[in-house]
Amino acid sequence: MPTPRSSRSANAMADPDRGGAVNGRPPRSGFGMPTAADLRREAEEAEEAARVLPEDAVVDLAQLRAATGTDDVLAALDRELVGLTSVKERISELAALLLIDRAREKFGITAPQPNLHMSFTGSPGTGKTTVALRMAELLHRLGYLRKGHLVTATRDDLVGQYVGHTAPKTKEVVKRAMGGVLFIDEAYYLYKVDNERDYGGEAIEILLQVMENHRDDLVVVLAGYADRMDTFFQANPGMSSRIAHHITFPDYSVGELAEIADLMTADIGYRFSPQARETFAGYLEQRVSQPWFANARSVRNALERARLRHARRLLEAGDAVVGRDALTTFEHDDFAGSRVFAGGAAAVARGPKGGDPANRAVRPPESGP
């Protein structure tokens, strides 16, 4: 595993209010007195400097790729997510940039660490959290993050309900995320322009400071609907200026949703009969145009409903014994019983396609199919 570019000690990471690097070096963690971690870090830096390649040397990029395991992460992302070609291309470009930076370092060519804070925009169920998880792993393997874990948060995790409550909550989440990726879903809820007494602004200020001072040990990903994220960035230009990568996650096509369903059914030990596959395709054709559709999330919910109908169908059939095929095969009736066929748009909550969060208070559970 490559040595992380971020070499602050764990003690230094514990408080996000600490300042940034001094003379290009991270501050010593023991209030100026070197700790064992500081001495170890400085020894590693000296050893690294002594291994600088001569100008006429060459670097085997294939070997470097294999050593970091970046191809493994990208391959896993490709297996886990159907479609999303443009998203995968952006992640591959970032991986290539960071890998080339490591090759340049071998010749002693240094440059400031690139800004890796990101914005993911798109509808629910389009793979944003999965990509953030793989991004954390990728950055860890390339040595840009110490741990490579993912911490997810929403407004409720960051913003308090009374004076003095927000700062401790936000700092605790940041502390847990240090060394990895902090994924803030529906980030625009941090800012409520119509409420002067809202404490979300305090959380934003802390995040801004952390994103600047500790960007070599924490990557922040802000996620949500594109139009609302645009409004959020317009109202918070400081946050906008700290986001270097804006990645759009498109909705899945009906064909891609069918592929996702195949992957999900295989994972849970089921398969479609030919008739069930045809019925499910008809289900998708109708469901995608109905309110509160959430892409892969809605597909998963539809399969869970089908499992319930499948189990009831077997028990009500009156057969004393069943075989493996019966236990693992979805049939036409397991999907034909959906309310999507019975009532169309009336089968689910009224509202705009994609489930606009503005109507969250009246949103029913995602169990409409």
Residues 6+ apart with CB under 8 A from 138: 70, 73, 74, 91, 94, 95
In total, how many domains does the chain have? Answer: 2
Q: How confident is the model at residue 34 (pLDDT cuts 50, 70, 90)?
A: low
220 and 265 assigned to the same domain: no
pLDDT confidence bin for 43, thresholds 50/70/90 = low
Same domain, yes or no: 242 and 259:
no
Say yes or no to pLDDT of 256 above 60.
yes
The answer, yes or no, to whether residue 163 has pLDDT greater than 90, is no
| Residue 238 and residue 180 share a domain | yes
Contacts 24+ apart (CB under 8 A), 73-81: 73/134, 73/137, 73/138, 73/141, 74/138, 76/134, 77/130, 77/131, 77/134, 80/127, 80/130, 80/134, 81/127, 81/130, 81/131
Q: Are residue 155 and residue 260 in the same domain, yes or no? A: no
Residue 248's DSSP bridge partners are 121
> Nearest-CA neighbor of 218 among 150, 296, 305?
150
User: Which of residues 95 and 53 earns the better pLDDT score?
Assistant: 95
The full 3-state SS of 165-192, as one line of letters, equals CHHHHHHHHHHHHCCCEEEEECHHHHCC
Structural domain boundaries enclosing 21: 10-249
- DSSP states of 119-170 as a string? EEEE-TTSSHHHHHHHHHHHHHHTTSSSS--EEEE-HHHH--SSTTTHHHHH
Looking at the structure, tell me whether residues 219 and 358 fall in a common domain.
no
Distance separating alpha carbons of residues 303 and 311, to the nearest angstrom? 12
What percent of the chain shows pLDDT beyond 70? 78
Q: Is residue 248 over pLDDT 50?
A: yes
Domain membership flag for residue 1: no
Which pLDDT does position 152 carry in this prediction? 95
Q: Are residues 260 and 113 in the same domain?
A: no
According to DSSP, the residues that pair with 22 across neighbouring strands are 25
326-344, pLDDT tens digit by residue? Answer: 999 999 999 998 888 875 4
Q: Which of 249, 264, 284 is the last residue of a domain?
A: 249
84-118 pLDDT, tens digit each: 999 999 999 999 999 998 888 888 888 788 899 99
Q: In CATH, what number is assigned to the domain containing residue 337? A: 1.10.8.60
What's the pLDDT tens digit per position in 183-219?
A: 999 999 998 777 667 788 899 999 999 999 998 889 9
Q: Could you tell me the CATH number of the domain that includes residue 234?
A: 3.40.50.300
Contact (Cβ atoms closer than 8 angstroms) between residue 327 and residue 265: no
239 and 271 belong to one structural domain: no
Identify the residue with better confidence: 19 or 161. 161
Residue with token string 């804006």: 246
DSSP string, 269-313: T-EE-HHHHHHHHHHHHHHTTSTT--THHHHHHHHHHHHHHHHHH
Residue 3, domain member (yes or no): no
Residue 304 belongs to a domain: yes
pLDDT, average across residues 140-166? 90
Indicate the residue among 213, 231, 249 that finishes a domain: 249
Considering 3-17, 116-130, 182-196, the range whose residues carry the highest mean pLDDT is: 116-130
What does the pLDDT read at residue 305? 95
Over 60: is that where the pLDDT of 301 sits? Answer: yes
* From 10-24, 75-89, 95-109, 292-306, the region with the lowest mean pLDDT: 10-24
CA separation, residue 217 to residues 4, 131, 225 (Å):
9, 19, 27
Considering the domain boundaries, does residue 200 fall inside one? yes
289 occurs within a structural domain: yes
Report helix, strand and coil shares of the chain as percent, to nearest 5.
55, 10, 40
Domain assignment present for residue 53? The answer is: yes
DSSP bridge partners of 30? 33
On average, the pLDDT of the chain sits at 82
Check whether residue 227 and residue 263 sit in a common domain: no
Does residue 4 belong to any structural domain of this protein? no
In a domain, 155, yes or no: yes
